[in-house]
Structure 1
Amino acid sequence: MSTHNAESCVINASLEKVWAAVSAQDFKFWSLVKSTEQASSSSEVGSTREVTFNDGTVQTYRLIEYSLIKNALTYEIIESKPAVNFLSAQHTIQVTRVTANNTSFVQWISDYSADGSEAAVLDAKYKKLEALAELAKSLEN
């Protein structure tokens, strides 16, 4: 069983527009997210944000990498209520310019600790696909 999941899409919007939506880390484009509270600047490595989902789940994320060169950020779950059934997870979202037509390629990768279950990885897969589709819909011209 793999504890790695990567999903991607092409969005009909400029890299600048897509990166602005992703790098805010407020997940406003995602219908599963009710609210996000940030403790500090969204680009400050080590900063945390509390994400409340519509089902009542509350997760705290810590930003562990932020790159303006790569248009990428990586965050990890440091707390979850209710608790998740794996020790750790790191998630990376990267936006790349598609030069042929000024669209954007977005990839969202998750890596779970060895105790990550197949159910957790599959759940992440479908949630990412939904979130990427909603991101695209919110930004496309």
Structure 2
Amino acid sequence: MSSHNVESCVINASLEKVWNALRSQDFKFWSLVKSVEHAASPSEVGSVRNVTFKDGTVQQYRLLELSEIKHSLTYEIVDSEPAVVFLSAQHTLQVSPVTANNTSFVQWISDYSYDGAEAAVLDAKYKKLEALADLAKALEN
């Protein structure tokens, strides 16, 4: 059994601009992130990056998929200090064009193993909403 969460928003920026901000996976737009260190080529499937948050949390993400066609990337959390309460989590960021006005629809989809982690999943929901708002603020025309 798993827990599924989807957060989304429309960003007043072109698909190309939004995708360029996401594909690097450096999370520069996210106010909660202090730094990101890549162990290999950031766009290489299987590459690992350490994301250090301003609260001191360090998480290691492994890239599972990167699609230039679908404008999406999927990563999983492979390690966290402090430890997370769920066994696994996969996250997908996807960008689609809103053709009527050259804006972008962004979805952040997360699937967590269900280990009694409702509070952690709810916390992640609000952090994703904050990250999407930060992305919109960083990229709006």
Q: What is the TM-score with the length of structure 1 in the denominator?
A: 0.97
CA contact (8 A) 1:45 1:66 kept: yes
**Greater alpha carbon shift after TM alignment, 39-48 vs 57-66:** 39-48
Per the alignment, do residues 2 and 60 of structure 1 end up closer, same or farther by CA in structure 2, a change over 3 Å counting? Answer: closer
Task: Note the C-alpha offset of 1:116.
Answer: 5.0
1:40-119 aligned at under 5 Å gives the runs 40-119=40-119
Task: Note the C-alpha offset of 1:89.
Answer: 0.2
Partner of 2:128: 128
Give per-residue Cα distances to partners, 1:94-138, cap 9 Å, x unaligned: 000111111000000110012151101101110000000000000
CA contact (8 A) 2:2 2:111 kept: no
Task: Note the C-alpha offset of 1:40.
Answer: 1.7
Q: Which runs of 5+ in 1 are unaligned?
A: none
Percent sequence identity is 79
Q: Residues of 2 paired with 1:49 and 1:21: CA distance?
A: 16
CA contact (8 A) 1:5 1:124 kept: no
Cα RMSD for the two superposed structures = 1.2
| Structure 1 stretches of at least 4 aligned residues deviating more than 2 Å after TM superposition | none
CA contact (8 A) 2:2 2:113 kept: no
Q: Which runs of 5+ in 2 are unaligned?
A: none
Partner of 1:31: 31
Q: Residues of 1 paired with 2:113 and 2:2: CA distance?
A: 10
CA contact (8 A) 1:5 1:110 kept: yes
Q: Residues of 2 paired with 1:38 and 1:103: CA distance?
A: 30
Q: Residues of 2 paired with 1:24 and 1:116: CA distance?
A: 32
**Greater alpha carbon shift after TM alignment, 75-84 vs 38-47:** 38-47
Q: Residues of 2 paired with 1:104 and 1:41: CA distance?
A: 26
Q: Residues of 1 paired with 2:7 and 2:17: CA distance?
A: 20
